[in-house]
Structure 1
Amino acid sequence: MRPTRHVLIVLPEHVHLMDVAGPAQVLVTAADMGAGYTVGYVSEHPITGSYQGVALAAAVHWPDLEPDDLVLVPGWKAPAGSLGLSRTLLKRIRGHWDDGGRVASVCAGALALAEAGVLTGRTATTHHDLVPVLKRYRGVQVLRDVLFTCEGRLHTSAGIASGIDLALHLVAHDHGPALAARVARTLVVPAWRPGSASQRSVMLVHRNHMDDLAHRAQDILDNPDEGPLTLELLGRRLGVSGRTLARHFVSATGLTPQAYSRAVRRERAQQLHERGATWEEAARAVGYADSRSLRPRRS
Protein backbone atom coordinates (compact mmCIF):
# COMPACT_ATOMS: atom_id res chain seq x y z
CA MET A 1 0.00 0.00 0.00
CA ARG A 2 1.08 3.57 -0.61
CA PRO A 3 1.78 6.01 2.24
CA THR A 4 -1.13 7.63 4.05
CA ARG A 5 -2.97 10.21 2.00
CA HIS A 6 -5.19 12.75 3.71
CA VAL A 7 -8.53 13.63 2.14
CA LEU A 8 -9.96 16.97 3.25
CA ILE A 9 -13.66 17.48 2.53
CA VAL A 10 -14.62 21.17 2.48
CA LEU A 11 -18.21 21.68 3.65
CA PRO A 12 -20.25 24.51 2.07
CA GLU A 13 -23.41 25.85 3.67
CA HIS A 14 -26.49 23.85 2.60
CA VAL A 15 -24.24 20.97 1.57
CA HIS A 16 -25.88 17.84 0.12
CA LEU A 17 -25.43 14.96 2.56
CA MET A 18 -24.98 12.33 -0.15
CA ASP A 19 -22.25 14.38 -1.81
CA VAL A 20 -20.30 14.15 1.45
CA ALA A 21 -21.28 10.71 2.70
CA GLY A 22 -20.84 8.82 -0.57
CA PRO A 23 -17.16 9.58 -1.22
CA ALA A 24 -16.38 9.53 2.51
CA GLN A 25 -17.88 6.05 2.91
CA VAL A 26 -15.85 4.72 -0.02
CA LEU A 27 -12.58 6.14 1.31
CA VAL A 28 -13.15 5.10 4.93
CA THR A 29 -14.10 1.58 3.82
CA ALA A 30 -10.94 1.45 1.71
CA ALA A 31 -8.95 2.58 4.76
CA ASP A 32 -10.52 -0.23 6.81
CA MET A 33 -9.16 -2.62 4.18
CA GLY A 34 -5.63 -1.25 4.51
CA ALA A 35 -5.60 1.68 2.10
CA GLY A 36 -3.70 4.69 3.37
CA TYR A 37 -6.50 7.22 3.69
CA THR A 38 -7.50 9.54 6.48
CA VAL A 39 -10.59 11.70 6.02
CA GLY A 40 -11.13 15.10 7.63
CA TYR A 41 -13.61 17.95 7.31
CA VAL A 42 -13.27 21.71 7.34
CA SER A 43 -15.82 24.52 7.10
CA GLU A 44 -16.26 28.21 7.74
CA HIS A 45 -18.13 27.49 10.99
CA PRO A 46 -17.93 24.67 13.56
CA ILE A 47 -21.45 23.57 12.63
CA THR A 48 -22.57 23.55 9.01
CA GLY A 49 -26.20 23.08 8.03
CA SER A 50 -26.97 20.59 5.27
CA TYR A 51 -29.72 21.06 2.70
CA GLN A 52 -31.37 17.93 4.10
CA GLY A 53 -31.55 19.46 7.58
CA VAL A 54 -28.78 17.52 9.33
CA ALA A 55 -26.06 19.64 10.96
CA LEU A 56 -22.45 18.60 10.38
CA ALA A 57 -19.50 19.36 12.66
CA ALA A 58 -16.15 20.25 11.11
CA ALA A 59 -12.85 21.89 11.93
CA VAL A 60 -12.53 25.61 11.18
CA HIS A 61 -8.75 25.64 10.78
CA TRP A 62 -7.25 24.54 7.48
CA PRO A 63 -4.73 21.75 8.17
CA ASP A 64 -1.25 21.40 6.75
CA LEU A 65 -1.47 19.39 3.55
CA GLU A 66 1.01 17.62 1.32
CA PRO A 67 0.79 17.80 -2.49
CA ASP A 68 -0.34 14.17 -2.60
CA ASP A 69 -3.33 14.95 -0.36
CA LEU A 70 -6.78 15.47 -1.86
CA VAL A 71 -9.15 18.39 -1.28
CA LEU A 72 -12.73 17.48 -2.17
CA VAL A 73 -15.59 19.98 -2.50
CA PRO A 74 -19.11 18.48 -2.38
CA GLY A 75 -22.19 20.10 -3.84
CA TRP A 76 -24.78 22.25 -2.14
CA LYS A 77 -28.25 23.69 -2.67
CA ALA A 78 -28.43 27.42 -2.02
CA PRO A 79 -30.00 30.56 -3.48
CA ALA A 80 -28.99 31.37 -7.06
CA GLY A 81 -25.64 33.09 -7.24
CA SER A 82 -24.38 31.75 -3.91
CA LEU A 83 -20.82 30.44 -4.00
CA GLY A 84 -21.42 28.11 -1.08
CA LEU A 85 -17.89 28.73 0.20
CA SER A 86 -16.26 31.85 1.58
CA ARG A 87 -13.49 33.64 -0.28
CA THR A 88 -11.10 32.45 2.41
CA LEU A 89 -11.85 28.80 1.73
CA LEU A 90 -11.71 29.36 -2.03
CA LYS A 91 -8.23 30.82 -1.61
CA ARG A 92 -7.20 27.81 0.48
CA ILE A 93 -8.39 25.45 -2.24
CA ARG A 94 -6.55 27.44 -4.89
CA GLY A 95 -3.44 27.48 -2.72
CA HIS A 96 -3.47 23.69 -2.41
CA TRP A 97 -3.85 23.44 -6.18
CA ASP A 98 -1.00 25.88 -6.82
CA ASP A 99 1.18 23.85 -4.46
CA GLY A 100 0.71 20.82 -6.69
CA GLY A 101 -2.12 19.25 -4.69
CA ARG A 102 -4.97 17.10 -5.91
CA VAL A 103 -8.48 18.58 -6.06
CA ALA A 104 -11.90 17.00 -6.65
CA SER A 105 -15.52 18.08 -6.74
CA VAL A 106 -18.98 16.58 -6.59
CA CYS A 107 -21.96 18.29 -8.25
CA ALA A 108 -21.97 22.07 -7.54
CA GLY A 109 -18.50 21.74 -6.04
CA ALA A 110 -17.22 22.30 -9.58
CA LEU A 111 -18.60 25.85 -9.43
CA ALA A 112 -16.46 26.52 -6.36
CA LEU A 113 -13.40 25.15 -8.17
CA ALA A 114 -14.17 27.35 -11.16
CA GLU A 115 -14.58 30.39 -8.92
CA ALA A 116 -11.23 29.58 -7.30
CA GLY A 117 -9.61 29.50 -10.75
CA VAL A 118 -8.73 25.81 -10.60
CA LEU A 119 -10.71 24.86 -13.72
CA THR A 120 -9.29 27.49 -16.07
CA GLY A 121 -7.98 25.76 -19.18
CA ARG A 122 -9.20 22.38 -18.00
CA THR A 123 -12.00 19.87 -18.55
CA ALA A 124 -14.69 19.36 -15.92
CA THR A 125 -18.24 18.21 -15.37
CA THR A 126 -21.05 18.91 -12.94
CA HIS A 127 -24.73 18.12 -12.41
CA HIS A 128 -26.66 18.48 -15.67
CA ASP A 129 -28.81 21.27 -14.20
CA LEU A 130 -25.64 23.28 -13.48
CA VAL A 131 -23.87 22.79 -16.80
CA PRO A 132 -25.07 26.19 -18.15
CA VAL A 133 -23.76 27.90 -15.00
CA LEU A 134 -20.36 26.22 -15.23
CA LYS A 135 -20.10 27.18 -18.89
CA ARG A 136 -20.18 30.85 -17.91
CA TYR A 137 -16.65 30.52 -16.56
CA ARG A 138 -14.19 31.35 -19.30
CA GLY A 139 -11.60 28.76 -20.16
CA VAL A 140 -13.50 25.77 -18.74
CA GLN A 141 -14.28 22.92 -21.13
CA VAL A 142 -17.50 21.44 -19.74
CA LEU A 143 -18.39 17.84 -20.49
CA ARG A 144 -22.07 16.91 -20.34
CA ASP A 145 -23.54 13.45 -19.75
CA VAL A 146 -20.51 11.87 -18.07
CA LEU A 147 -20.32 10.65 -14.49
CA PHE A 148 -16.88 12.03 -13.77
CA THR A 149 -13.75 13.43 -15.38
CA CYS A 150 -10.11 12.95 -14.42
CA GLU A 151 -7.35 15.15 -15.78
CA GLY A 152 -4.07 14.81 -13.94
CA ARG A 153 -4.57 16.16 -10.42
CA LEU A 154 -8.11 17.34 -11.12
CA HIS A 155 -11.23 15.19 -10.67
CA THR A 156 -14.85 16.34 -11.06
CA SER A 157 -18.11 14.38 -10.87
CA ALA A 158 -21.68 15.04 -11.91
CA GLY A 159 -23.31 14.74 -8.53
CA ILE A 160 -24.93 12.61 -5.82
CA ALA A 161 -24.25 8.93 -6.68
CA SER A 162 -21.50 9.79 -9.16
CA GLY A 163 -19.42 10.98 -6.22
CA ILE A 164 -19.26 7.31 -5.23
CA ASP A 165 -18.14 6.38 -8.75
CA LEU A 166 -15.42 9.02 -8.60
CA ALA A 167 -14.22 7.86 -5.18
CA LEU A 168 -14.05 4.24 -6.39
CA HIS A 169 -12.06 5.43 -9.39
CA LEU A 170 -9.62 7.20 -7.07
CA VAL A 171 -9.23 4.06 -4.94
CA ALA A 172 -8.56 2.03 -8.09
CA HIS A 173 -5.98 4.59 -9.20
CA ASP A 174 -4.27 4.76 -5.81
CA HIS A 175 -4.44 1.12 -4.70
CA GLY A 176 -5.51 -0.95 -7.68
CA PRO A 177 -8.84 -2.11 -9.13
CA ALA A 178 -9.00 -5.24 -6.97
CA LEU A 179 -9.30 -3.16 -3.80
CA ALA A 180 -11.84 -0.84 -5.45
CA ALA A 181 -13.90 -3.89 -6.38
CA ARG A 182 -13.81 -5.13 -2.77
CA VAL A 183 -14.94 -1.73 -1.51
CA ALA A 184 -17.79 -1.64 -4.02
CA ARG A 185 -18.88 -5.12 -3.03
CA THR A 186 -18.90 -4.15 0.66
CA LEU A 187 -21.05 -1.10 -0.12
CA VAL A 188 -23.28 -3.10 -2.51
CA VAL A 189 -22.78 -0.64 -5.36
CA PRO A 190 -21.54 -1.15 -8.94
CA ALA A 191 -17.77 -1.52 -9.03
CA TRP A 192 -17.49 0.39 -12.27
CA ARG A 193 -19.62 2.82 -14.25
CA PRO A 194 -18.09 4.82 -17.11
CA GLY A 195 -16.74 8.19 -16.08
CA SER A 196 -15.55 9.55 -19.37
CA ALA A 197 -13.09 7.93 -21.72
CA SER A 198 -10.96 6.47 -18.94
CA GLN A 199 -9.70 2.92 -19.35
CA ARG A 200 -11.86 0.19 -17.88
CA SER A 201 -10.20 -2.47 -15.75
CA VAL A 202 -11.40 -6.04 -16.23
CA MET A 203 -11.44 -6.36 -12.43
CA LEU A 204 -14.09 -3.64 -12.18
CA VAL A 205 -16.16 -4.21 -15.32
CA HIS A 206 -16.95 -7.80 -14.36
CA ARG A 207 -17.79 -7.04 -10.73
CA ASN A 208 -21.25 -5.59 -11.36
CA HIS A 209 -23.20 -8.58 -10.08
CA MET A 210 -24.55 -9.96 -6.80
CA ASP A 211 -23.29 -13.54 -6.91
CA ASP A 212 -21.29 -14.14 -3.72
CA LEU A 213 -19.59 -17.30 -5.00
CA ALA A 214 -18.38 -15.54 -8.15
CA HIS A 215 -17.16 -12.58 -6.07
CA ARG A 216 -15.16 -14.88 -3.79
CA ALA A 217 -13.63 -16.58 -6.81
CA GLN A 218 -12.70 -13.19 -8.26
CA ASP A 219 -11.08 -12.21 -4.96
CA ILE A 220 -8.71 -15.15 -5.45
CA LEU A 221 -8.17 -14.64 -9.18
CA ASP A 222 -7.50 -10.91 -8.73
CA ASN A 223 -4.58 -11.60 -6.39
CA PRO A 224 -1.34 -11.14 -8.38
CA ASP A 225 0.50 -13.48 -5.99
CA GLU A 226 -1.73 -16.43 -6.89
CA GLY A 227 -0.45 -18.75 -9.57
CA PRO A 228 -2.79 -20.04 -12.29
CA LEU A 229 -5.40 -22.38 -10.78
CA THR A 230 -7.37 -25.19 -12.37
CA LEU A 231 -11.14 -24.95 -12.20
CA GLU A 232 -11.37 -27.92 -9.82
CA LEU A 233 -8.71 -26.56 -7.46
CA LEU A 234 -10.40 -23.16 -7.38
CA GLY A 235 -13.73 -24.85 -6.70
CA ARG A 236 -12.28 -26.89 -3.82
CA ARG A 237 -10.90 -23.73 -2.21
CA LEU A 238 -14.41 -22.31 -2.30
CA GLY A 239 -16.13 -25.50 -1.14
CA VAL A 240 -17.94 -26.30 -4.40
CA SER A 241 -17.37 -28.41 -7.47
CA GLY A 242 -15.66 -26.92 -10.48
CA ARG A 243 -18.85 -27.38 -12.46
CA THR A 244 -20.94 -25.44 -9.95
CA LEU A 245 -18.36 -22.67 -9.80
CA ALA A 246 -18.20 -22.39 -13.60
CA ARG A 247 -21.99 -22.13 -13.83
CA HIS A 248 -22.15 -19.34 -11.26
CA PHE A 249 -19.15 -17.52 -12.67
CA VAL A 250 -20.31 -17.47 -16.28
CA SER A 251 -23.83 -16.41 -15.28
CA ALA A 252 -22.48 -13.53 -13.16
CA THR A 253 -19.61 -12.23 -15.30
CA GLY A 254 -20.14 -13.54 -18.83
CA LEU A 255 -16.69 -15.19 -18.72
CA THR A 256 -15.38 -18.55 -17.61
CA PRO A 257 -13.05 -18.42 -14.59
CA GLN A 258 -10.16 -19.36 -16.90
CA ALA A 259 -10.95 -16.54 -19.36
CA TYR A 260 -11.32 -14.06 -16.51
CA SER A 261 -7.99 -15.12 -15.01
CA ARG A 262 -6.24 -14.74 -18.36
CA ALA A 263 -7.77 -11.28 -18.84
CA VAL A 264 -6.63 -10.17 -15.38
CA ARG A 265 -3.10 -11.46 -15.97
CA ARG A 266 -2.84 -9.88 -19.41
CA GLU A 267 -3.98 -6.56 -17.95
CA ARG A 268 -1.42 -6.80 -15.15
CA ALA A 269 1.32 -7.75 -17.60
CA GLN A 270 0.39 -4.81 -19.83
CA GLN A 271 0.75 -2.47 -16.83
CA LEU A 272 4.16 -3.93 -15.97
CA HIS A 273 5.29 -3.60 -19.59
CA GLU A 274 4.21 0.04 -19.66
CA ARG A 275 6.37 0.59 -16.57
CA GLY A 276 9.47 -0.73 -18.35
CA ALA A 277 9.40 -4.51 -17.93
CA THR A 278 10.03 -6.69 -20.97
CA TRP A 279 7.16 -8.92 -22.08
CA GLU A 280 9.08 -11.96 -20.83
CA GLU A 281 9.58 -10.35 -17.41
CA ALA A 282 5.92 -9.31 -17.28
CA ALA A 283 4.78 -12.83 -18.18
CA ARG A 284 6.84 -14.42 -15.41
CA ALA A 285 5.62 -11.81 -12.91
CA VAL A 286 2.00 -12.86 -13.49
CA GLY A 287 2.70 -16.57 -13.25
CA TYR A 288 3.38 -17.63 -16.85
CA ALA A 289 6.47 -19.37 -18.20
CA ASP A 290 6.89 -16.99 -21.13
CA SER A 291 5.16 -14.23 -23.06
CA ARG A 292 3.38 -16.64 -25.44
CA SER A 293 0.82 -17.22 -22.68
CA LEU A 294 -0.17 -13.55 -22.86
CA ARG A 295 -1.53 -13.86 -26.38
CA PRO A 296 -5.33 -13.61 -26.64
CA ARG A 297 -7.18 -16.91 -26.62
CA ARG A 298 -10.79 -17.83 -27.09
CA SER A 299 -12.83 -18.50 -23.97
Structure 2
Amino acid sequence: MTNVIEIDRVTKRYGRFTAVDDATLRVPAGCVFALLGENGAGKTTLVRMLLGLLSPDAGSISVFGRNSTTHGEEVRRLLGYVPERPTLYEWMTAAEIGWFTAGFYGDGFEQHYRNLLDRFRVPTSRKIGKMSKGMRAKVSLSLAMAHQPRLLVLDEPTSGLDTLVRREFLESMVDLAAEGHTVLLSSHLIGEVERVADQVAVVREGKILAVDPLDRLKLGAYEITATMHGSAAAPPPVPGTLLTSSRRGKQWRLLVRDVEDEGAIDRLADLDSVAVVDRRTPSLEEIFVAYMTENHPPSANGQPGVLQEV
Protein backbone atom coordinates (compact mmCIF):
# COMPACT_ATOMS: atom_id res chain seq x y z
CA MET A 1 0.00 0.00 0.00
CA THR A 2 1.30 3.47 -0.92
CA ASN A 3 2.47 5.62 1.99
CA VAL A 4 1.16 9.19 1.99
CA ILE A 5 3.49 10.26 4.82
CA GLU A 6 6.94 8.89 5.61
CA ILE A 7 8.72 10.07 8.76
CA ASP A 8 12.27 8.78 9.19
CA ARG A 9 14.17 9.16 12.50
CA VAL A 10 13.00 12.73 13.06
CA THR A 11 14.27 14.69 16.06
CA LYS A 12 13.40 18.26 17.07
CA ARG A 13 14.98 20.06 20.02
CA TYR A 14 14.36 23.41 21.69
CA GLY A 15 17.56 24.05 23.58
CA ARG A 16 17.96 21.15 25.99
CA PHE A 17 14.34 20.06 25.59
CA THR A 18 13.65 17.32 23.03
CA ALA A 19 10.12 17.73 21.65
CA VAL A 20 10.34 14.88 19.12
CA ASP A 21 12.83 12.08 19.70
CA ASP A 22 13.94 9.84 16.80
CA ALA A 23 10.39 9.37 15.47
CA THR A 24 9.71 6.99 12.58
CA LEU A 25 6.33 6.05 11.12
CA ARG A 26 4.46 5.44 7.87
CA VAL A 27 0.93 6.62 7.10
CA PRO A 28 -0.70 4.55 4.33
CA ALA A 29 -3.21 5.97 1.88
CA GLY A 30 -6.94 5.78 2.47
CA CYS A 31 -7.03 5.44 6.26
CA VAL A 32 -7.67 7.45 9.41
CA PHE A 33 -4.32 7.49 11.21
CA ALA A 34 -4.26 8.79 14.79
CA LEU A 35 -1.40 10.27 16.78
CA LEU A 36 -2.55 9.50 20.32
CA GLY A 37 -0.77 11.16 23.21
CA GLU A 38 -1.16 13.49 26.15
CA ASN A 39 -0.92 17.25 25.72
CA GLY A 40 2.75 18.15 25.40
CA ALA A 41 3.72 14.75 23.98
CA GLY A 42 5.18 16.33 20.82
CA LYS A 43 2.26 15.71 18.46
CA THR A 44 1.84 19.34 17.36
CA THR A 45 5.59 19.74 16.79
CA LEU A 46 5.51 16.66 14.58
CA VAL A 47 2.53 18.02 12.65
CA ARG A 48 4.20 21.41 12.14
CA MET A 49 7.31 19.72 10.75
CA LEU A 50 5.11 17.66 8.45
CA LEU A 51 3.57 20.91 7.15
CA GLY A 52 7.01 22.40 6.55
CA LEU A 53 6.48 25.10 9.19
CA LEU A 54 9.35 23.75 11.30
CA SER A 55 12.57 22.06 10.24
CA PRO A 56 13.73 18.90 12.02
CA ASP A 57 17.16 18.86 13.63
CA ALA A 58 17.67 15.34 12.32
CA GLY A 59 15.82 12.96 10.02
CA SER A 60 13.38 13.66 7.19
CA ILE A 61 9.64 13.89 6.48
CA SER A 62 8.01 13.41 3.09
CA VAL A 63 4.40 13.92 2.06
CA PHE A 64 3.33 12.45 -1.29
CA GLY A 65 7.04 11.92 -1.93
CA ARG A 66 7.93 15.59 -1.38
CA ASN A 67 10.33 16.65 1.34
CA SER A 68 8.45 18.84 3.83
CA THR A 69 11.49 20.94 4.66
CA THR A 70 12.53 21.84 1.10
CA HIS A 71 9.06 21.77 -0.51
CA GLY A 72 6.89 22.98 2.37
CA GLU A 73 4.74 25.34 0.30
CA GLU A 74 3.96 22.63 -2.24
CA VAL A 75 3.12 20.17 0.53
CA ARG A 76 0.74 22.66 2.16
CA ARG A 77 -1.09 23.16 -1.15
CA LEU A 78 -1.68 19.42 -1.45
CA LEU A 79 -3.27 18.89 1.96
CA GLY A 80 -5.97 20.38 4.16
CA TYR A 81 -5.14 21.46 7.71
CA VAL A 82 -7.29 22.22 10.73
CA PRO A 83 -5.34 23.43 13.81
CA GLU A 84 -6.63 23.30 17.37
CA ARG A 85 -7.25 27.07 17.33
CA PRO A 86 -8.07 28.14 13.75
CA THR A 87 -7.31 31.76 12.83
CA LEU A 88 -10.21 33.23 10.86
CA TYR A 89 -11.07 36.78 9.81
CA GLU A 90 -13.85 37.50 12.28
CA TRP A 91 -15.21 40.50 10.35
CA MET A 92 -15.99 38.31 7.35
CA THR A 93 -19.08 36.20 6.88
CA ALA A 94 -18.79 32.47 6.19
CA ALA A 95 -19.52 33.15 2.51
CA GLU A 96 -16.96 35.97 2.27
CA ILE A 97 -14.09 33.97 3.75
CA GLY A 98 -14.83 31.18 1.27
CA TRP A 99 -14.73 33.65 -1.63
CA PHE A 100 -11.47 35.10 -0.31
CA THR A 101 -9.81 31.69 0.15
CA ALA A 102 -10.96 30.51 -3.29
CA GLY A 103 -8.45 32.94 -4.82
CA PHE A 104 -5.63 30.66 -3.67
CA TYR A 105 -7.10 27.54 -5.28
CA GLY A 106 -8.49 26.38 -8.59
CA ASP A 107 -11.98 26.33 -10.02
CA GLY A 108 -14.64 24.58 -7.98
CA PHE A 109 -13.29 25.52 -4.55
CA GLU A 110 -16.00 28.03 -3.66
CA GLN A 111 -18.89 25.85 -4.80
CA HIS A 112 -17.59 22.83 -2.92
CA TYR A 113 -17.03 25.04 0.14
CA ARG A 114 -20.64 26.22 0.01
CA ASN A 115 -21.81 22.61 -0.31
CA LEU A 116 -19.87 21.78 2.84
CA LEU A 117 -21.36 24.75 4.72
CA ASP A 118 -24.79 23.50 3.73
CA ARG A 119 -23.93 19.99 4.88
CA PHE A 120 -22.74 21.31 8.27
CA ARG A 121 -25.72 23.72 8.51
CA VAL A 122 -23.56 26.84 8.75
CA PRO A 123 -25.36 30.15 7.93
CA THR A 124 -23.42 31.76 5.09
CA SER A 125 -24.42 35.34 5.95
CA ARG A 126 -23.38 35.30 9.62
CA LYS A 127 -20.10 36.99 10.55
CA ILE A 128 -17.52 34.59 11.95
CA GLY A 129 -17.04 36.80 15.02
CA LYS A 130 -20.68 36.16 15.92
CA MET A 131 -20.44 32.37 15.59
CA SER A 132 -20.13 29.78 18.34
CA LYS A 133 -16.92 27.80 18.69
CA GLY A 134 -18.60 24.82 17.04
CA MET A 135 -19.73 26.88 14.04
CA ARG A 136 -16.24 28.36 13.64
CA ALA A 137 -14.79 24.86 13.71
CA LYS A 138 -17.15 23.82 10.93
CA VAL A 139 -16.06 26.80 8.82
CA SER A 140 -12.41 25.85 9.36
CA LEU A 141 -13.08 22.23 8.40
CA SER A 142 -15.02 23.32 5.31
CA LEU A 143 -12.14 25.56 4.20
CA ALA A 144 -9.67 22.70 4.69
CA MET A 145 -11.81 20.25 2.71
CA ALA A 146 -13.06 22.52 -0.09
CA HIS A 147 -10.16 21.85 -2.47
CA GLN A 148 -10.75 18.12 -1.93
CA PRO A 149 -7.26 17.28 -0.65
CA ARG A 150 -6.05 13.69 -0.64
CA LEU A 151 -4.68 14.27 2.88
CA LEU A 152 -6.43 16.07 5.74
CA VAL A 153 -4.36 16.90 8.84
CA LEU A 154 -6.28 17.61 12.04
CA ASP A 155 -4.49 18.79 15.19
CA GLU A 156 -6.82 18.40 18.20
CA PRO A 157 -9.74 19.61 16.04
CA THR A 158 -12.55 18.74 18.47
CA SER A 159 -11.00 20.25 21.59
CA GLY A 160 -13.69 22.14 23.50
CA LEU A 161 -16.50 21.26 21.08
CA ASP A 162 -19.85 19.94 22.24
CA THR A 163 -20.86 16.32 21.67
CA LEU A 164 -22.95 16.86 18.54
CA VAL A 165 -20.33 18.95 16.72
CA ARG A 166 -17.61 16.46 17.70
CA ARG A 167 -19.71 13.64 16.27
CA GLU A 168 -20.12 15.52 12.97
CA PHE A 169 -16.37 15.99 12.78
CA LEU A 170 -15.71 12.31 13.38
CA GLU A 171 -18.32 11.19 10.87
CA SER A 172 -16.68 13.44 8.28
CA MET A 173 -13.35 11.72 8.89
CA VAL A 174 -14.83 8.29 8.32
CA ASP A 175 -16.58 9.48 5.15
CA LEU A 176 -13.33 10.90 3.77
CA ALA A 177 -11.42 7.68 4.37
CA ALA A 178 -14.22 5.72 2.71
CA GLU A 179 -13.77 7.92 -0.37
CA GLY A 180 -10.05 7.07 -0.52
CA HIS A 181 -8.69 10.14 1.25
CA THR A 182 -6.20 9.96 4.13
CA VAL A 183 -6.78 11.61 7.50
CA LEU A 184 -4.05 12.26 10.07
CA LEU A 185 -5.72 12.96 13.42
CA SER A 186 -3.70 14.23 16.37
CA SER A 187 -5.63 13.82 19.62
CA HIS A 188 -5.44 13.11 23.33
CA LEU A 189 -9.09 11.99 23.39
CA ILE A 190 -9.09 8.19 23.50
CA GLY A 191 -12.81 7.85 22.80
CA GLU A 192 -12.70 9.69 19.49
CA VAL A 193 -9.57 7.85 18.36
CA GLU A 194 -11.16 4.50 19.18
CA ARG A 195 -14.27 5.48 17.24
CA VAL A 196 -12.67 6.48 13.93
CA ALA A 197 -9.01 5.41 13.68
CA ASP A 198 -7.79 2.56 11.49
CA GLN A 199 -4.22 2.86 12.78
CA VAL A 200 -2.80 4.39 15.95
CA ALA A 201 0.62 5.69 16.93
CA VAL A 202 1.04 6.10 20.69
CA VAL A 203 3.26 9.12 21.49
CA ARG A 204 4.85 9.98 24.84
CA GLU A 205 7.49 12.61 25.59
CA GLY A 206 8.40 12.92 21.93
CA LYS A 207 8.84 9.18 21.40
CA ILE A 208 6.60 6.92 19.32
CA LEU A 209 6.05 3.91 21.57
CA ALA A 210 3.77 1.83 19.36
CA VAL A 211 2.33 1.93 15.84
CA ASP A 212 -0.40 -0.59 15.05
CA PRO A 213 -3.78 -1.05 13.43
CA LEU A 214 -6.38 -0.33 16.10
CA ASP A 215 -7.78 -3.87 16.10
CA ARG A 216 -4.30 -5.39 16.46
CA LEU A 217 -3.43 -3.02 19.29
CA LYS A 218 -6.38 -4.36 21.26
CA LEU A 219 -6.60 -7.92 19.93
CA GLY A 220 -3.45 -9.33 21.53
CA ALA A 221 -3.76 -7.35 24.77
CA TYR A 222 -4.83 -8.88 28.09
CA GLU A 223 -5.07 -7.91 31.72
CA ILE A 224 -3.89 -10.91 33.71
CA THR A 225 -4.70 -11.30 37.39
CA ALA A 226 -2.51 -13.93 39.05
CA THR A 227 -3.18 -14.91 42.65
CA MET A 228 -0.06 -16.39 44.19
CA HIS A 229 0.29 -19.05 46.91
CA GLY A 230 2.64 -16.74 48.76
CA SER A 231 3.60 -13.08 48.67
CA ALA A 232 5.81 -13.34 45.55
CA ALA A 233 8.46 -10.66 45.12
CA ALA A 234 8.23 -10.90 41.33
CA PRO A 235 5.31 -11.52 38.97
CA PRO A 236 5.02 -14.83 37.11
CA PRO A 237 6.67 -14.95 33.65
CA VAL A 238 3.93 -13.89 31.23
CA PRO A 239 3.69 -14.29 27.44
CA GLY A 240 3.88 -11.31 25.11
CA THR A 241 5.14 -7.87 26.11
CA LEU A 242 4.57 -6.75 29.68
CA LEU A 243 3.41 -3.11 29.79
CA THR A 244 2.55 -2.65 33.46
CA SER A 245 2.45 -4.67 36.64
CA SER A 246 1.14 -3.98 40.12
CA ARG A 247 0.79 -6.04 43.29
CA ARG A 248 -1.78 -6.05 46.06
CA GLY A 249 -0.99 -8.62 48.70
CA LYS A 250 -0.81 -12.05 47.03
CA GLN A 251 -2.31 -10.81 43.79
CA TRP A 252 -0.40 -9.56 40.73
CA ARG A 253 -2.18 -7.58 38.04
CA LEU A 254 -0.31 -7.48 34.73
CA LEU A 255 -1.18 -5.82 31.43
CA VAL A 256 0.42 -7.49 28.41
CA ARG A 257 0.13 -7.20 24.63
CA ASP A 258 1.36 -9.12 21.56
CA VAL A 259 0.09 -12.37 23.05
CA GLU A 260 -0.15 -14.91 20.24
CA ASP A 261 -1.21 -17.91 22.33
CA GLU A 262 -4.03 -17.34 24.82
CA GLY A 263 -3.41 -20.78 26.21
CA ALA A 264 -0.04 -19.62 27.51
CA ILE A 265 -1.91 -17.35 29.92
CA ASP A 266 -4.09 -20.18 31.19
CA ARG A 267 -1.02 -22.40 31.65
CA LEU A 268 0.34 -19.94 34.22
CA ALA A 269 -1.98 -21.73 36.68
CA ASP A 270 0.24 -24.82 36.32
CA LEU A 271 3.13 -23.00 38.01
CA ASP A 272 3.75 -24.07 41.61
CA SER A 273 3.74 -20.42 42.76
CA VAL A 274 0.39 -19.56 41.13
CA ALA A 275 -2.97 -20.43 42.68
CA VAL A 276 -5.46 -18.81 40.27
CA VAL A 277 -5.22 -16.98 36.94
CA ASP A 278 -7.89 -14.77 35.41
CA ARG A 279 -7.71 -12.75 32.19
CA ARG A 280 -9.78 -10.15 30.38
CA THR A 281 -9.44 -7.86 27.36
CA PRO A 282 -8.51 -4.30 28.41
CA SER A 283 -9.95 -1.17 26.82
CA LEU A 284 -7.91 1.13 24.59
CA GLU A 285 -7.88 3.59 27.48
CA GLU A 286 -6.23 1.04 29.77
CA ILE A 287 -3.63 0.21 27.11
CA PHE A 288 -2.96 3.91 26.58
CA VAL A 289 -2.58 4.56 30.31
CA ALA A 290 -0.13 1.65 30.49
CA TYR A 291 2.01 3.24 27.78
CA MET A 292 1.82 6.61 29.52
CA THR A 293 3.08 5.15 32.81
CA GLU A 294 6.73 5.78 33.56
CA ASN A 295 8.84 2.67 32.89
CA HIS A 296 11.23 1.27 35.47
CA PRO A 297 14.39 -0.73 34.78
CA PRO A 298 13.92 -4.48 34.25
CA SER A 299 14.07 -6.65 37.32
CA ALA A 300 16.67 -9.37 37.83
CA ASN A 301 14.60 -12.08 36.10
CA GLY A 302 14.35 -10.02 32.90
CA GLN A 303 10.73 -8.97 33.39
CA PRO A 304 10.03 -5.21 33.42
CA GLY A 305 10.11 -3.81 36.94
CA VAL A 306 7.07 -3.13 39.07
CA LEU A 307 5.42 0.14 38.06
CA GLN A 308 3.44 0.54 41.24
CA GLU A 309 3.00 -1.48 44.40
CA VAL A 310 0.10 -0.96 46.76
Identify which of structures 1 and 2 has the higher relative contact order when contacts are C-alpha pairs closer than 8 Å and 6+ apart: 2
TM-score by length of 1: 0.32
Greater Rg over alpha carbons, structure = 2
